[in-house]
Amino acid sequence: MNTKELLLSVLMGGPATGYDIKKTMENEVSTLLDVSLSNLYPALNELAAEGLVTYRKVEQDSRPNKKVYELTEAGRAACLKALMSGDARHRLRSEFIFILSFAPFLPRWRVKELLDHRLADTNETLRDLDRREAEETLQEGQKFCIGFGRAMMEAQRDYILKHGAELLSSCPEDVPLAMVSHG
């Protein structure tokens, strides 16, 4: 999905300020997709010009006015069309996995560091999923996605815990400094 389609999908949840949309993109959408926030406001302005969103200005005391954006019927239709026609690809792209494919050449401490960091990140993601799951206003699709994410994170954690020691035992204790020095 492109940036404008992602913005429309965020607004399917209801009216939101640009700041709220940005936070949703950073905290929720970016955990699932690569998103670029650099053109968020120009894209919202384009969506408004295309009649896919409307906005109303809200005055604030001693702060700049804010805009609250909302989908139009045409915007809802455009969002649904994008969701219906998307490929829904599911890819595994991971620097973690790529680097670990070179574990036989890395010192054991580095591989352990990578595994420990991944476990910590996984546990943090699981805590975040717990927090999201506790929200009372979740729709069935959101519940499914949280459960799907949980299953992936738990499988990742369990795999590292079950096979990490085996990987570590295959790594050299250390790598000669000459192999690591920069030029």
Q: In the 8-state DSSP scheme, what is residue 56? A: E
d(Cα 5, Cα 158) in Å, to the nearest integer?
35
Q: H or E stretch including 55?
A: strand 53-60
Burial of 44 per CB tally in 10 Å (0-12, 13-18, 19+) = buried
Contact status, residue 119 vs residue 157, Cβ threshold 8 Å: yes
- More confident position, 34 or 151: 151
Hey, what are 157's tokens? 């954690």
- Say whether pLDDT at 178 is over 70: no
pLDDT at 37: 67
d(Cα 18, Cα 6) in Å, to the nearest integer?
13
pLDDT confidence bin for 121, thresholds 50/70/90 = very high
- Say whether pLDDT at 183 is over 50: no
d(Cα 32, Cα 29) in Å, to the nearest integer?
5
Give the global pTM. 0.65
pLDDT at 140: 87
Nearest CA among 75, 80, 78, 2 for reference residue 40: 2
Say which range, 99-108, 109-118, 129-138, has the weakest mean pLDDT: 129-138
pLDDT at 54: 94
Q: How far is CA 7 from CA 74, 140, 165, 183, in A?
A: 14, 21, 43, 46
**Residues with Cβ within 8 Å of residue 108, at least 6 apart in sequence:** 168, 171, 172, 173, 174
d(Cα 56, Cα 33) in Å, to the nearest integer?
29
- 33-74 pLDDT, tens digit per residue, is 666 667 888 889 999 999 999 999 988 888 888 899 999 999
pLDDT at 146: 87
- Helix (H/G/I), strand (E/B), else coil: 25: helix
pLDDT at 77: 94
Distance, first Cα to last Cα, the chain = 42
CATH of domain 3-85: 1.10.10.10
Contact status, residue 107 vs residue 174, Cβ threshold 8 Å: yes
Q: So where are the chain's domains?
A: 3-85, 95-175
